[in-house]
Amino acid sequence: MQLTRSVKHDPKQRLDEIIVKLRELNFRITPQRVAILRIFLNSQDHPSVEQVYAQVKADFPSTSLATVYKTVNLLKEVGEILEISFAGGGNRYDGIKPYPHPHLICTTCNKIMDSEIGLVDQIANELEQTSGYRIVSHQIEFFGTCPACQKK
Amino acid sequence: MQLTRSVKHDPKQRLDEIIVKLRELNFRITPQRVAILRIFLNSQDHPSVEQVYAQVKADFPSTSLATVYKTVNLLKEVGEILEISFAGGGNRYDGIKPYPHPHLICTTCNKIMDSEIGLVDQIANELEQTSGYRIVSHQIEFFGTCPACQKK
DNA sequence: TCTTTATAGATAATAATTGTCAACAATCGA
DNA sequence: TCGATTGTTGACAATTATTATCTATAAAGA
């Protein structure tokens, strides 16, 4: 099992690639979709649907929240954004590394930080052997306090 | 950081211990709370609030869903049940091993299986060093298909 | 340009959970 | 054991996050 994959992050190139992909899958390229996609490709901070909504509305005031949700689901389904879900509030999304990877989540300010752990694939393989499950994905979140919040 | 702790599982003894603990914390011991606690201490299968509700109602038909939610929150706060939350449906709970530990979740039948990974504490320690976060908890879930569902 | 049909936007509906509050009952002290 | 105190229950309203519905619109291909 190989869960992770490498995606070089060049927002402009990825935007073009994703547009081609969506077109191939017979989805239409609307200005709203492009705007939302751009936001994801340029956000380092794992935005929520509500945050994306606020940003799209800045340039595109008529956009509906429902459209953001639909686009988020679409991008999730084609594998171009990753959903991060945990108790307490809405889901968060990662459009830069859209494959499962561990996160460090600050329970004070809600900041989410990426972290790569090389061992994940090995652990998943071991678990497959011992449990008989066929593992296809994972969700690994560590909760605590970020350096900035520790100082307060 | 030591996230895991060992809790021997003797439902009767734990019931008594938790009751003493709740009393010490000035919470009242009501029949509803005892009934719900018993259910958690005897469920191997990570029940949802709705499932617990159905079970309590069997012996105690007047119980309200709100009471189940309130009791779940209480038990969560005093650290005697673990909340397992992931996208798609309601939270699930573990009253047998109420400390963070990895799970294998079948995306077909929703069965949740426990799994111990010795490496978790080491990984958390490493992440603390490299990130500066102070880690206090984690949530590690692997998703896939359980052996039974693979056969279908 | 015209036609087809997926999509956007508005809003209703749903699901899970939390808040409110009066009646009740667990606990403690006399 | 009884009575007073106050935390808890149960019923239900409210909230939050998300999805479904439906009509007008606009993207894409002929």
Who's near A120: CB < 8 A, 6+ residues apart? A3, A4, A101, A102, A138, A140
Determine whether the distance from the CB of B25 to the nearest atom of strand C is below 7 Å: no
Dihedral, CA of residue A15, residue A16, residue A21 and residue A22, to nearest 10: 70
**Distance spanning both ends of chain B, measured CA to CA:** 43
Per-position pLDDT tens, chain A of length 152: 555 555 578 999 999 999 999 999 999 999 999 999 999 999 999 999 999 999 999 989 999 999 999 999 999 999 999 999 999 789 999 999 999 999 999 999 999 999 878 788 888 999 999 999 999 999 999 999 999 999 98
- How close A125 gets to chain B, by Cα (Å)? 11
* Half-sphere exposure of residue B16: CA atoms within 13 angstroms, side-chain side: 4
CATH second-level architecture of A11-150?
Orthogonal Bundle (1.10)
Q: Note whether A52 and A66 are within 8 A (CB).
A: no
Task: Provide Rg for chain B, Cα atoms.
Answer: 17
Q: Where are the alpha helices (DSSP H) in chain B?
A: 11-24, 31-41, 49-59, 65-77, 120-131, 147-150
pLDDT at B46 over 70: yes
Residue B53, number of CB atoms within 10 A of its CB: 20
Quote the CA–CA distance of B95 and B47 in Å, as a whole number.
Answer: 9
Instruction: Please report the pLDDT score of residue A116 as a whole number.
Output: 77
Give the closest nucleotide to B19 (alpha carbon vs C1'): C26
Residue A30 CA to its chain's centroid (Å)? 21
- A135 forms beta bridges with B144
Residue A89, number of CB atoms within 10 A of its CB: 10
pLDDT in tens, B101-113: 999 999 999 999 9
Which of A116, A137, A139, A150 best tests the B interface by mutation, with the highest count of B CBs <10 A? A139
Determine whether the distance from the CB of B62 to the nearest atom of strand D is below 7 Å: yes
Percent residues over pLDDT 90 in chain B: 85
Instruction: Please report the pLDDT score of residue A9 as a whole number.
Output: 83
B 84-103 residues with CB < 8 A to A: 85-87, 91, 102
Give the closest nucleotide to B70 (alpha carbon vs C1'): C18
DSSP states of chain A as a string?
Answer: ----------HHHHHHHHHHHHHHTT----HHHHHHHHHHHT-SS--BHHHHHHHHHHH-TT--HHHHHHHHHHHHHTTSSEEE--SSS--EEESSS-S---EEEETTT--EEE---TTHHHHHHHHHHHH--EEEEEEEEEEEE-HHHHT-
What residue spans define the domains of chain A? 11-150
Determine whether the distance from the CB of B131 to the nearest atom of strand D is below 7 Å: no
